[in-house]
Structure 1
Amino acid sequence: MQLTLERIEQRAGAQAYLYPLDLTLVPRAVTVLLGATQAGKTTLMRVMAGLDAPAAGRVLADGQDVTGVPVRARNVAMVYQQFINYPSMTVYDNIASPLKLRKEQGIETRVNELAAKLHIEPFLKRLPAELSGGQQQRVALARALAKQAPLMLLDEPLVNLDYKLREELRDELTQLFANGESTVVYATTEPTEALLLGGHTA
């Protein structure tokens, strides 16, 4: 997907969170949003996803204006800083949930493939509360990847993990993104992380 932002602004009352911004994402590649905390990265990603409408400007997906299209009508996957999983579902069902919603074939194969890639195969029958923070974030990542959305947004997904886990998961994500299946936007405050993820920096 080629996502284009044209003169995007975001405000809350008189407070401007995003000034007129133009950005075109390279399709099927990684774009890193590098900036300090509260620099507007999350605000921008919420506009990209359709979670929030911009105060001004347009969002184009493959040339089509989707500015007013709600998130449920867009094929977007998003991973947050927090470990957001369905607490009453097993790890397997968490990962499978977007596939079941679309009534896809080969769900078990896809879930097992992602669980193997993210090293969470032993935990497929467990509930998220039984996992460590790093394991829970792997589940959230696997669920987002299972969706195979043309646009994947990752809002500082490793920020709440310790250094060793961050390094390990970052390497795994770099390998997963290398297949070029999705247009990926990755937000971070860390210049080193931006450099190691490669791709384009905004």
Structure 2
Amino acid sequence: MALELQNITKKVGGVTHIKPTNLVLESGHFNVLLGETGAGKTSLIKLMAGLDPIADGQLLMDGEDVTGQSTQKRNISLVHQFFVNYPHMTVFENIASPLKVTGMAKSEIEGRVEEAANILQLKPMLNRKPHELSGGQQQRCALARAIAKQSKAVFLDEPLANLDYKLREELREQLPELFAGRGAIVVYATSEPEEALLLGGKTALMQDGQVAQFGPTADIYRTPNSLMAAGIFSDPPINMAEFTKTGRMAHMGRNISWELSDERAGLKDGVYKLAIRPHHVLPYKTDAASVPIVGKVLVTELSGSESSAHFEADMANWVSLARGIHPYQVGENHQFFMDPNQCFIFALDGAPVGGDHHG
């Protein structure tokens, strides 16, 4: 089972919202659309769901051209970040609503609703109305409706965004299991890199209405194919700076130098762009190769068991993200250590230059 996007575009009033996009999204795993707000995730989902017209290109579902087909005929489910439940119906009726429209037998409807309610722990609430439910229960109701419908494709547009932290963690873990073995193509949009990593599967990195990279999520995280891709897959934002390669040495800023590994020493001499995730810039050494960087601390934040520091060094403003609580003083200089083995290296225009690197 696959959903194939062949050069599809979206235009609104002559303005291109989705640039020509080619993707093959398959069942059996989560397909994640990852990008910041405004990157085009919701626009792409609306095209795939048939809610918005495709300007150019074709959309194939299981080999069948559904480009001009109505949403109703596509047998799809869509779950938004806003809980869409019918307020006058009970939870049972909400879950059953798409099944009744098809004229399904009452006994089969009851069986499907019961199964979905069991999976999402809604059985005790089947006779309640949506206003009697918590936000998490309302969203579980919307997910149960998608499961009961047994759609060919399920589109989840930031479905956990409006839930509290604890519930988000629970549902995030459960979601891959909920749809496992159902044969549906599952497309999940999120703006959080961590969520994409937890869901696994394959990820399409989106920016400015286009897909920057698509493939197994863990592979893209470890080896982004461009500076754009590396930036999308980093929260806090990835650190960047230019450096000059001369022989086996790299020189960054006024006084930061280190020896390049054998593979990178083979690059042509010249100026390159370095990118490194904040959790590889730490207030302590991780090994002998760690490169010291002194920076003036601008902002510090504590988040649970992590400390972050935004600091100003002579080559750029960077961020450090470290486990534990660290006594940074705003306005004072602090020493940080960059792990050169975790740097991504790109050409100045953001294109790849070759060489294995992991982040």
Name the TM-score, length of structure 1 as normaliser. 0.95
User: Who is 1:115 aligned against?
Assistant: 117
* RMSD between aligned residues: 1.2
1:1-150 to 2 correspondences below 5 Å: 1-105=1-105, 106-150=108-152
Report the Cα distance in structure 1 between the residues aligned to 2:141 and 2:26, rounded to whole angstroms. Answer: 27
User: Who is 2:187 aligned against?
Assistant: 185
Report the Cα distance in structure 2 between the residues aligned to 1:28 and 1:180, rounded to whole angstroms. Answer: 8
DSSP-derived class of the 1:111 partner: helix
In the TM superposition, residue 3 of structure 1 has moved relative to its aligned partner by 0.8
In the TM superposition, residue 133 of structure 1 has moved relative to its aligned partner by 0.7
| Farther-moved stretch of structure 1 (114-123 vs 97-106) | 97-106
Does structure 1 residue 154 correspond to structure 2 residue 126? no
User: Who is 2:169 aligned against?
Assistant: 167
Report the Cα distance in structure 2 between the residues aligned to 1:177 and 1:110, rounded to whole angstroms. Answer: 14
| Farther-moved stretch of structure 1 (98-107 vs 57-66) | 98-107
| Farther-moved stretch of structure 1 (29-38 vs 11-20) | 11-20
Report the Cα distance in structure 2 between the residues aligned to 1:180 and 1:192, rounded to whole angstroms. Answer: 25
In the TM superposition, residue 177 of structure 1 has moved relative to its aligned partner by 2.1
DSSP-derived class of the 2:26 partner: coil
Question: Taking every aligned residue pair, what percent have the same amino acid on both sides?
Answer: 56
Q: Is the 8 A contact 2:17 2:40 kept in 1?
A: yes
| Farther-moved stretch of structure 1 (111-120 vs 182-191) | 111-120
Report the Cα distance in structure 2 between the residues aligned to 1:145 and 1:84, rounded to whole angstroms. Answer: 15
**1:141-179 Cα distance to aligned partner (Å, 9 max, x none):** 000111001111100000011111111111121211222
Report the Cα distance in structure 2 between the residues aligned to 1:48 and 1:54, rounded to whole angstroms. Answer: 9
User: Who is 2:235 aligned against?
Assistant: none
Amino acid at match of 1:173: L
**Residue segments in structure 1 that go unaligned for 5+ positions in a row:** none
| Farther-moved stretch of structure 1 (171-180 vs 122-131) | 171-180
Amino acid at match of 1:165: L
In the TM superposition, residue 118 of structure 1 has moved relative to its aligned partner by 0.7
DSSP-derived class of the 1:25 partner: strand
Amino acid at match of 1:185: V
Report the Cα distance in structure 2 between the residues aligned to 1:109 and 1:69, rounded to whole angstroms. Answer: 30
Report the Cα distance in structure 2 between the residues aligned to 1:180 and 1:124, rounded to whole angstroms. Answer: 23
Report the Cα distance in structure 2 between the residues aligned to 1:76 and 1:28, rounded to whole angstroms. Answer: 16
Report the Cα distance in structure 2 between the residues aligned to 1:190 and 1:129, rounded to whole angstroms. Answer: 29
Amino acid at match of 2:145: R
Q: Is the 8 A contact 1:8 1:55 kept in 2?
A: yes
In the TM superposition, residue 180 of structure 1 has moved relative to its aligned partner by 4.0
* The structure with more strand, counted as a fraction of residues: 2
Q: Is the 8 A contact 1:29 1:182 kept in 2?
A: no
Aligned residue pairs total: 202
**1:86-116 Cα distance to aligned partner (Å, 9 max, x none):** 1110000111112222233422222122112
Name the TM-score, length of structure 2 as normaliser. 0.55
Report the Cα distance in structure 2 between the residues aligned to 1:47 and 1:28, rounded to whole angstroms. Answer: 22
**1:32-77 Cα distance to aligned partner (Å, 9 max, x none):** 1111111110100111011111111111112221111111121111
Report the Cα distance in structure 2 between the residues aligned to 1:61 and 1:42, rounded to whole angstroms. Answer: 19
* The structure with more helix, counted as a fraction of residues: 1
Q: Is the 8 A contact 2:9 2:17 kept in 1?
A: yes
1:190-201 to 2 correspondences below 5 Å: 190-201=192-203
In the TM superposition, residue 192 of structure 1 has moved relative to its aligned partner by 0.9
Report the Cα distance in structure 2 between the residues aligned to 1:142 and 1:162, rounded to whole angstroms. Answer: 19
User: Who is 2:211 aligned against?
Assistant: none
Report the Cα distance in structure 2 between the residues aligned to 1:76 and 1:11, rounded to whole angstroms. Answer: 23
Report the Cα distance in structure 1 between the residues aligned to 2:183 and 2:130, rounded to whole angstroms. Answer: 27
In the TM superposition, residue 15 of structure 1 has moved relative to its aligned partner by 2.3
**Residue segments in structure 2 that go unaligned for 5+ positions in a row:** 205-359
